[in-house]
């Protein structure tokens, strides 16, 4: 975040400096991937015979990112997800994904029996456990409308942006799930302020719209702050 009280040229300098440092980090990530996937991968899209892919590559790249100054779990996740979407041949996040700080509240809610320190330290383990539980049968039991909606949204995204099935799946993937866990916090604080959605409930559209309207009425406009 910008330094407290930063304004004018000081704020602009902070943004430019941070952008430049992350551009350099992107160059180092590129070199790391080129070493693991093959020198000609970025030109030809062909993996080297001895390429390191999948979870083995994810673990190594995540470690490299977290060793960088000012890179935490959320920023590491950003690099991992964007790399996974850009280069699906590497299967970077097929099995697991880094979990940002924003998922903390969701894990508090889902795993209250796990000690808080353990939840924070082992978010990736909890994500893997949750992913394993959400097979097709479990998803249909929890919310029968979810998988048809995933297929619809996935097809629309591929048609609109020219993406392939490897990039936008029709099922719940680990990196999709960690994003949902992070966004759930915003849903709770900005939409479902009245806590209409309880554990295991199916969100009713009418109640949801009522909650959104209530949140809109109570939200202060920028001019009133």
> DSSP secondary structure string, 38-71?
-TTHHHH-PPPTT---HHHHHHHHHHHHHTSTT-
Task: Indicate the average pLDDT of the chain.
Answer: 80
Comparing C-alpha atoms, which of 195, 69, 77, 202 is closest to residue 144? 202
pLDDT, one tens digit per residue, over 112-162 is 888 888 887 788 888 888 888 888 888 888 778 888 888 898 888 888 888
| Residue 126: HSE in the Cβ half-sphere, 13 Å Cα cutoff | 25
Count other C-beta atoms under 10 Å from residue 2's C-beta: 12
Comparing C-alpha atoms, which of 90, 99, 114 is closest to residue 30? 90
Per-residue pLDDT band for 61 (boundaries 50, 70, 90) equals very high
- Give the pLDDT score at 223: 42
- Give the pLDDT score at 27: 92
pLDDT, one tens digit per residue, over 182-213 is 888 777 777 666 655 554 444 555 665 666 67
Per-residue pLDDT band for 32 (boundaries 50, 70, 90) equals very high
Integer Rg of the chain from CA: 20
Q: Residues 82-108: what's their mean pLDDT?
A: 86
Comparing C-alpha atoms, which of 101, 88, 97, 77 is closest to residue 177? 97
Q: Does 103 have pLDDT greater than 50? A: yes
- Give the pLDDT score at 219: 58
């Amino acid at each position: 975040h910008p330094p407290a009280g930063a304004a004018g040229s000081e704020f602009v300098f902070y943004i430019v400096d941070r952008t430049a440092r992350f551009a350099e980090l992107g160059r180092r990530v590129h070199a790391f991937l080129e070493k693991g996937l093959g020198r000609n991968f970025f030109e030809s899209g062909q993996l080297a015979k001895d390429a390191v892919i999948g979870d083995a590559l994810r673990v190594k790249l995540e470690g490299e990112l977290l060793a960088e100054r000012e890179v935490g779990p959320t920023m590491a996740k950003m690099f991992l997800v964007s790399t996974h979407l850009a280069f699906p041949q590497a299967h970077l996040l097929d099995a697991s994904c880094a979990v940002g700080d924003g998922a903390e509240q969701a894990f508090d809610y889902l795993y209250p029996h796990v000690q808080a320190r353990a939840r924070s330290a082992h978010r990736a383990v909890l994500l893997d456990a949750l992913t394993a539980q959400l097979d097709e049968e479990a998803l249909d039991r929890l919310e029968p409308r979810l998988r048809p909606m995933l297929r619809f949204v996935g097809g629309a995204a591929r048609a609109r942006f020219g993406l392939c099935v490897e990039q936008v799946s029709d099922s719940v993937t680990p990196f999709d799930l960690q994003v949902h866990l992070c966004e759930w916090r915003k849903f709770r604080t900005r939409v479902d302020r009245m806590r209409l959605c309880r554990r295991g409930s199916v969100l009713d559209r009418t109640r949801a719209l009522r909650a959104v309207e209530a949140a809109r009425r109570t939200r202060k406009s920028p001019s009133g702050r």
